[in-house]
């Protein structure tokens, strides 16, 4: 005897979830089922009352809509359920659905009666089977919500547009073969004075290159503590001196220093080679014993320690690191320091570069890779990077530091403004480690743009 019972919308819901749990082999597992898209679209658009009545009429005998829910009464047969799935729901189950439910015994000779059972067969089910059937029916609404409910649209709040801050140059400091003051250095450049001469700090007679842009006289008096002067590498001494000179040139006195927000003051001064002299001396001392080594040889050899020592001396706790990009180091440091101010991460930045590689290991290393000029008889004309007859570059040493400041911050304290930083970019000619592009198609890293104030 065929059994009959009434099924509400949760049953249809459970059938939807059951059907959709079986994936057709031809469907891309990474793509959402097309039936899901169609169903959710219909759900969002909503079904009119007339449409619901029309659908309920297709569901079989006794189908009606009560309070917006589909209620259907039908006789149990596999054909009836399959007709319901094809007509009531907005999709056709896949082939694997039919094969899978048949193999699982969902449809018996009497259709659904073998699964849900008739009134007589229900009594024969054990407790576990009844509980399983009850859970599947009563919880089908929850499965429906998980399986086919459309995701709620996530609205992200847009960040408020913030006006970029302007960056100006308010101080300069340097240590160079052409002078240790900005005015002296600039005038020597205009007059064509060359800082290249024969090396005097060590015996270079065994080297094919005997020239460099060497600093002949230099003193740290008033800038660096004597105890540190004996331990530090020259690149760090140049850096500390040039950095403090930039502060003095920018009018950062002790009173102004006390008023600064030191969490918004940073140091970004890089080095191409770092403390080569300290490291070289440590290797020579190690030949005797490690006890003879400078205990600070490792930290003082790193390229970032110059910026770190200057920041510790000043008590500045803003951005503090270094960049090492060979000859373009200072350009990259200036551009990154300006970006910190533009983004509001700092108000004041000391930036630039420092190197001191005119030592035997530095000279020998560049000679070994055939990168240095050997125009020893005419040192003042040896550096000619754009000449077709160039035979290499000339080593140099020194430090150059700029004091960058946010425009309003500089105006507030009445600072002298030399120029405004307008922007820059990171580039590379991507050609050779030491040689420029033969066609002159070269891009120097960290190209800058300044606007000078009158």
Quote the pLDDT of residue 326: 87
CATH classification of the domain holding 314: 3.40.47.10
Quote the pLDDT of residue 423: 87
pLDDT band at 294 (very low <50, low <70, confident <90, very high): confident
Residues 361 and 197: their CA atoms lie apart, in Å, by 19
For 223-272, write each residue's pLDDT tens digit: 998 888 888 999 999 999 999 999 999 999 999 999 999 999 999 999 99
Query: Is 388 inside a domain boundary?
Result: yes
Quote the pLDDT of residue 68: 41
Phi, psi for residue 28 in degrees, rounded to 5: -70, 120
Q: Higher-confidence residue: 24 or 238?
A: 238
Least confidently predicted of 80-94, 108-122, 144-158, 164-178:
108-122
Query: Is 274 inside a domain boundary?
Result: yes
Measured over the CA atoms of residue 300, residue 303, residue 304 and residue 310, the dihedral's sign is positive
Does the pLDDT of residue 73 top 70, yes or no? no
Quote the pLDDT of residue 386: 82
Quote the pLDDT of residue 441: 67
Query: Is 34 inside a domain boundary?
Result: no
pLDDT band at 25 (very low <50, low <70, confident <90, very high): very low
Query: Is 129 inside a domain boundary?
Result: no
CA distances from 158 to 68, 163, 164, 428, 439 (A): 39, 15, 17, 35, 47
pLDDT band at 120 (very low <50, low <70, confident <90, very high): very low
Does the pLDDT of residue 63 top 50, yes or no? no
Query: Is 33 inside a domain boundary?
Result: no
* Cα 15 versus chain centre, distance: 48
Does the pLDDT of residue 97 top 70, yes or no? no
Quote the pLDDT of residue 121: 46
Mean pLDDT score of the chain, rounded to an integer?
A: 76
pLDDT band at 133 (very low <50, low <70, confident <90, very high): low
Across the range 16-29, mean pLDDT stands at 47
Highest mean pLDDT among 8-12, 67-71, 256-260: 256-260
pLDDT band at 428 (very low <50, low <70, confident <90, very high): confident
Quote the pLDDT of residue 438: 75
Does the pLDDT of residue 116 top 50, yes or no? no
Quote the pLDDT of residue 161: 58
How many domains in the chain? 1
Rg over alpha carbons for the chain, rounded to the nearest Å, is 40
Query: Is 142 inside a domain boundary?
Result: no
For 173-222, write each residue's pLDDT tens digit: 999 999 999 999 999 999 999 999 999 999 999 999 999 999 988 989 88
Strands 69-75 and 348-356: unpaired
Residues 294 and 281: their CA atoms lie apart, in Å, by 8
Structural domain span for residue 252: 167-423
Q: Which pTM does this prediction carry?
A: 0.63
Quote the pLDDT of residue 261: 95
Percent of the chain with pLDDT over 70: 61
Residues 210 and 206: their CA atoms lie apart, in Å, by 9
For 354-413, write each residue's pLDDT tens digit: 999 999 999 999 999 989 999 999 999 999 988 888 899 999 999 999 999 999 999 999
pLDDT band at 16 (very low <50, low <70, confident <90, very high): very low
For 161-170, write each residue's pLDDT tens digit: 567 899 999 9
Query: Is 301 inside a domain boundary?
Result: yes
Burial class of residue 302 in the structure, from the number of CB atoms within 10 Å of its CB (0-12 exposed, 13-18 middle, 19+ buried): middle
Q: Higher-confidence residue: 270 or 451?
A: 270
- The DSSP symbol for 176 reads B
Query: Is 130 inside a domain boundary?
Result: no
pLDDT band at 143 (very low <50, low <70, confident <90, very high): very low
């Amino acid at each position: 005897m065929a059994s009959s019972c009434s099924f509400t919308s949760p049953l249809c819901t459970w059938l939807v979830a059951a059907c959709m749990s079986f994936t057709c082999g031809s469907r891309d597992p990474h793509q959402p089922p097309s039936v899901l898209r169609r169903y959710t679209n219909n759900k969002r658009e909503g079904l009119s009352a007339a449409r619901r009545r029309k659908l309920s009429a297709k569901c079989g005998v006794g189908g009606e809509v009560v309070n917006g829910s589909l209620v259907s009464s039908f006789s149990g047969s596999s054909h009836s359920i399959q007709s319901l799935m094809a007509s009531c729901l907005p999709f056709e189950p896949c082939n694997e659905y039919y094969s899978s439910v048949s193999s699982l015994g969902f449809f018996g000779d009497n259709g659904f009666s073998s699964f849900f059972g008739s009134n007589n067969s229900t009594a024969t089910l054990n407790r576990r089977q009844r509980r399983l059937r009850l859970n599947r029916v009563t919880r089908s609404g929850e499965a429906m919500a998980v399986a086919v409910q459309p995701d709620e649209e996530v609205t992200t709040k847009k960040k408020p547009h913030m006006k970029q801050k302007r960056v100006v140059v308010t101080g300069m400091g340097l240590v160079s073969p052409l002078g240790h003051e900005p005015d002296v250095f600039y005038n020597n450049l205009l007059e064509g004075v060359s800082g290249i001469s024969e090396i005097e700090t060590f015996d270079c007679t065994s080297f094919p290159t005997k020239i460099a842009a060497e600093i002949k006289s230099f003193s740290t008096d008033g800038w660096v503590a004597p105890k540190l002067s004996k331990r530090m590498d020259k690149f760090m001494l140049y850096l500390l001196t040039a950095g403090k000179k930039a502060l003095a040139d920018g009018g950062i006195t002790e009173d102004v220093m006390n008023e600064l927000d030191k969490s918004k003051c940073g140091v970004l001064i890089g080095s191409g080679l770092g403390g080569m002299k300290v490291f070289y001396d440590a290797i020579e001392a190690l030949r005797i014993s490690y006890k003879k080594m400078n205990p600070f040889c490792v930290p003082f050899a790193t390229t970032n320690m110059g910026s770190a020592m200057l920041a510790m001396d000043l008590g500045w706790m803003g951005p503090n690191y270094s960049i090492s990009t060979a000859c373009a180091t200072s350009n990259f440091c200036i551009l990154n320091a300006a970006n910190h101010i533009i983004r509001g991460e700092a108000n004041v930045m000391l930036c630039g570069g420092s190197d001191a590689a005119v030592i035997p290991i530095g000279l020998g290393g560049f000679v070994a890779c055939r990168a240095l000029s050997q125009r020893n008889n005419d040192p003042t004309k040896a550096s000619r990077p754009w000449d077709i007859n160039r035979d290499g570059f000339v080593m140099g040493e020194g430090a150059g530091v700029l004091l960058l400041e946010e425009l309003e911050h500089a105006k507030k304290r009445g600072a002298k403004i030399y120029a405004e930083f307008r922007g820059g970019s990171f580039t590379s000619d991507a050609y050779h480690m030491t040689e420029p592009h033969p066609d002159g198609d070269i891009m120097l890293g960290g190209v800058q743009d300044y606007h000078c104030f009158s």
